[in-house]
Amino acid sequence: MTHLLSDPKVIEAINGLVTVIIAGVGGAAAVGFARLKTSMESHLQRATKAAEEAKAAAQSADAQVSNDHATNIRDDLDAVRDTVKAVSETVDRVADTLDSHGDSLSDLKARIDRIDGRGERMAAEIHSERASREAAQQQIDAHAHDAHGAIYRRIEALEALAHK
DSSP letter assigned to residue 163:
T
**Using CA atoms, how far apart are residues 86 and 95, in angstroms rounded to an integer?**
14
Distance CA 97, CA 91 (A): 10
Tens digit of pLDDT for each residue in 9-45?
877 888 888 888 888 888 888 888 888 889 898 888 9
| pLDDT tens digits, one per residue of 90-145 | 988 988 888 888 788 888 888 888 988 898 999 899 999 999 999 999 999 899 89
Say yes or no to pLDDT of 5 above 70: no
Q: Is the pLDDT of residue 61 over 70?
A: yes
Give CA–CA dist 58/160, Å, rounded.
133
CA distances from 65 to 17, 22, 31, 73 (A): 70, 61, 50, 7
Per-residue pLDDT at 74 exceeds 90: no
